[in-house]
Structure 1
């Protein structure tokens, strides 16, 4: 019956030291940390490692539930995996303890609020982008594909879409989109 900690920061410029200290004080024997978005489990190798390593009777500790997941679906999936393994989940800053009914209920409520916060942030970001586009300030990212070069490789060097994609380091579907476009350079 070991106690494991998980700390996460969303961006590279954020620090997990405060979380790690709180997890040490909570008795965590092993702490895994990473800097990755919490909106999805993709790319969160430390969390994946912990979820594989945990055994029945172990406890996973986080400082807050939003460090574990930012979407209710991901949170429920993680909690389901933990329950299936017989692993308890606790949070140092919130009354979450999945070994109790009240802790389970509170966990679900916090998960809803974490997802709500993420959705609000996304809406504000989209509103800001719309305003910037209306003012002509926001142009989007610069195109990463040079259609003229795609056509040159196709017509002059007689390369196929796969070879063009490999040469330019782009996806084959992108080459097909350029070649299907009527606006030939």
Structure 2
């Protein structure tokens, strides 16, 4: 049995070595580190990432997969939920450094199963809510953009479409503004603007066809 740390590095101030150090400080003994760098966590499933796709044949029954947070395992909560359930079916234990979550498919005790399944069910529900909120923001943004004079587009957004999606996803997941700023490279002020009026933030992208 082995313990594999999977790290997705999205910004220049993150490193695999730092994430490994965090994991070891949390009590994990890491045998192997698998790293995806510069891969969008919002638009790319784990199975479609260059290194993440290798986990399916690296992990065996009884192995442990360690991640900093569950959001490293997929592009949204539904994807994360599906990934965790698939890992548990194969007998792989999934654990997180942050919040010390433990997803073990071998658990038979009813109380332990309830504690294990609660965050999975929460993530599934959140995934649905996030998807609906994103679609609504997109519809509002497009309608808002069409209602404006084409000659007036306002200031060009300081964020890209990918950054906007990351901010929306991480806000839904409860991440702090400071953490999102580190992950995206955006200013806290920009993130607050997106948080306060996602429809207008979406409209700005639509006006600039970004």
Indicate the residue corresponding to 2:35 in structure 1.
33
Indicate the residue corresponding to 2:83 in structure 1.
78
Q: CA deviation at 1:118?
A: 5.7
Name the stretch that deviates more: 51-60 or 41-50.
41-50
In structure 2, runs of 5+ residues without a counterpart are 105-111, 154-206
In structure 1, runs of 5+ residues without a counterpart are 142-185
Cα separation, 1, equivalents of 2:53 and 2:85: 14
Indicate the residue corresponding to 1:140 in structure 2.
209
* Contact 2:81 2:123 (C-alpha < 8 Å) held by counterparts: no
Cα separation, 1, equivalents of 2:57 and 2:79: 16
Cα separation, 2, equivalents of 1:118 and 1:16: 28
Residues 1:2 and 2:2 are matched in the alignment: yes
Change (3 A) 1:95 1:112: farther
Cα separation, 1, equivalents of 2:93 and 2:55: 13
Paired residue total: 139
- Larger RCO: 1 or 2 (CA < 8 Å, sep 6+): 2
* Contact 1:23 1:92 (C-alpha < 8 Å) held by counterparts: yes
Indicate the residue corresponding to 1:174 in structure 2.
none
Q: CA deviation at 1:122?
A: 5.2
- Which of 88, 100, 104 is 2:93 aligned to? 88
Q: CA RMSD in A?
A: 3.0
State the SS of the aligned residue for 2:29: coil
Residues 58-87 of structure 1: CA deviation (Å, up to 9, x unaligned) = 001112212212434423331232123211
Q: CA deviation at 1:93?
A: 1.3
Compare CA radii of gyration and give the structure with the larger one: 1
Cα separation, 2, equivalents of 1:32 and 1:77: 20
Q: CA deviation at 1:14?
A: 5.8
Normalising by the residue count of structure 2, what TM-score does the alignment of the two structures yield? 0.53
Indicate the residue corresponding to 1:162 in structure 2.
none
Change (3 A) 1:62 1:107: farther
Residues 1:50 and 2:52 are matched in the alignment: no
* Contact 1:4 1:61 (C-alpha < 8 Å) held by counterparts: yes
Change (3 A) 1:117 1:50: same
* Contact 2:71 2:77 (C-alpha < 8 Å) held by counterparts: no
* Contact 1:32 1:46 (C-alpha < 8 Å) held by counterparts: yes
